[in-house]
């Protein structure tokens, strides 16, 4: 390994968007893991060196000694299904989200733990089981001698997608830079009041700190920058399917749709299916950005794109993998491996590149290159 680079391991790597985010900042990924072969196939098409360091398999079968020595950073986007408000809410007791403890187990057994860890999950993590799950996670990471900070960032500050996520950043207590603070941070766009409440509630019990961070950018206001204009005409729905789409709209939704159709400009809106009183119906987002992309599995998981305006006949189709990639800040990602549905699944289960890169630029890399975290 390069002795001057920041060496990282990516747990629950998926299609590799954490690497996509951090590699331009000088982070060298030397180990990665995911259980899904299809995700590895996509990762390898974009990072041919994956055969050397990507371990496809169950994280429960990984031993601490399997990881390379000298790691500086470990990232973990562990499964959210048991923590999500749209999931089963089993929390860290669930078979999927409970994989957090496998990540902690591997860290605990390492002769030299990485001085910095980054965890990402849905905001439901903070309220799961009345807040007991986030407390268990903070307690476990504190036992591993990490001081902890919590951030909440909605991807809409970077891409036209509403995707609120929370991040836990752990820094080895003996590696905390001098510009870190102890206490309760003031509310900000990255630490809303529920995050400051976490600091207030747990800061006296567990190791917690915070850093001053710049404001988040404003973010795009519509989908115009992500629309794929090269989609074949055959991908747009036929007259019967479009009529069924319009007929399924609620009265309030219909008013919104007609206002857009009579507008002077072409507008793009994302739409998704909802079940209301046992009836499947379509809904348009109130704003002009996409809703949170999800793993494709039916129901409301897939989003449609609606082109409407100038009193023309509206057009509707499913969003494409390219549009999903752009909504995840990965417009240059090679869409080669897997079926279109596997590609949609991979992006719906990933992190937004721009968000993680912002955290890397303003938090992770400065910490890892400060005097207190020098190697050796």
Q: How many Å is the Cα radius of gyration of the chain?
A: 22
Structure tokens, 85: 């408000």
Phi-psi bin for 196: left (phi > 0), alpha (psi -120 to 50), beta?
Answer: alpha
Divide the 376 residues of the chain into consecutive groups of 10 and give the mean pLDDT of each group: 82 97 97 96 96 95 95 90 62 74 95 97 87 91 97 98 96 92 95 96 93 95 95 96 96 95 96 84 93 71 93 96 97 93 93 98 95 48
Strand 116-122: give its sheet, edge to edge.
54-56, 27-34, 6-11, 73-76, 116-122, 164-172, 146-154
Measured between alpha carbons, how far is 320 from 163 in angstroms, rounded to an integer?
18
Buried b (16+ CB within 10 A) or exposed e, 332-361: ebebebbeeebbbbbbbbbbbbbbbbbbbe
Q: Which residue has the tokens 């048991």?
A: 82
Residues 6+ apart with CB under 8 A from 81: 87, 88, 94, 96, 97
- Write down the pLDDT at residue 82: 61
**Cα of 256 vs its chain's centroid, Å:** 30
- Write down the pLDDT at residue 376: 39
Structure tokens, 8: 């990282």
Closest listed residue to residue 253, CA positions, set 281, 289, 225: 281
Instruction: For residue range 152-196, list pLDDT tens digits in order.
Output: 999 999 999 999 999 999 999 999 998 899 999 999 999 999 999
Instruction: For residue range 319-339, list pLDDT tens digits in order.
Output: 999 999 999 999 999 999 999
**Mind listing the domains of the chain with CATH numbers?**
6-220+352-373 (3.40.50.150), 233-319 (no CATH)
């Amino acid at each position: 390994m390069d002795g001057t680079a920041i060496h990282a391991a990516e747990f629950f790597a998926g299609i590799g968007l954490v690497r996509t985010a951090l590699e331009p900042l000088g982070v060298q990924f030397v180990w990665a893991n995911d259980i899904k072969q299809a995700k590895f196939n996509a990762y390898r098409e974009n990072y041919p060196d994956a055969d050397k360091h990507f371990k496809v398999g169950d994280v429960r079968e990984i031993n601490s000694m399997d990881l390379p020595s000298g790691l500086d950073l470990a990232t973990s986007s562990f499964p959210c299904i048991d923590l999500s408000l749209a999931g089963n809410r089993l929390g860290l007791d669930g078979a999927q989200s409970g994989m957090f403890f496998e990540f902690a187990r591997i860290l605990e057994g390492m002769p030299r733990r990485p001085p910095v860890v980054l965890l990402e999950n849905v905001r439901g993590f903070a309220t799961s089981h009345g807040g007991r799950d986030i407390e268990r996670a903070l307690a476990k990471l504190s036992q591993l001698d990490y001081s902890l900070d919590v951030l909440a960032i909605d991807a809409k500050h970077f891409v036209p997608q509403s995707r609120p996520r929370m991040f836990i950043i752990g820094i080895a207590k003996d590696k905390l830079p001098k510009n870190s603070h102890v206490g309760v941070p003031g509310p900000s766009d990255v630490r809303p009041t529920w995050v400051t409440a976490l600091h207030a509630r747990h800061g006296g019990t567990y190791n917690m700190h915070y850093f001053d961070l710049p404001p988040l950018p404003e973010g795009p206001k519509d989908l115009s920058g992500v629309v794929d204009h090269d989609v074949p005409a055959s991908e747009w729905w036929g007259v019967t399917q479009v009529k069924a789409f319009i007929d399924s709209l609620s009265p309030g939704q219909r008013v919104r749709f007609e206002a857009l159709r009579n507008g002077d400009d072409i507008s793009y809106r994302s739409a998704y299916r909802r079940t209301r009183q046992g009836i499947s119906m379509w809904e348009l987002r109130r704003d002009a950005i996409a809703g949170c992309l999800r793993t494709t599995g039916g129901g409301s998981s897939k989003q449609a794109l609606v082109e409407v305006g100038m009193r023309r006949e509206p057009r509707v189709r499913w969003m494409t993998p390219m549009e999903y990639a752009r909504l995840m800040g990965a417009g240059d990602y090679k869409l080669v491996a897997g079926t279109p549905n596997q590609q949609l699944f991979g992006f719906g289960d990933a992190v937004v590149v721009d968000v993680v890169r912002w955290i890397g630029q303003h938090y992770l890399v400065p910490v890892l290159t400060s005097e207190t975290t020098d190697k050796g």
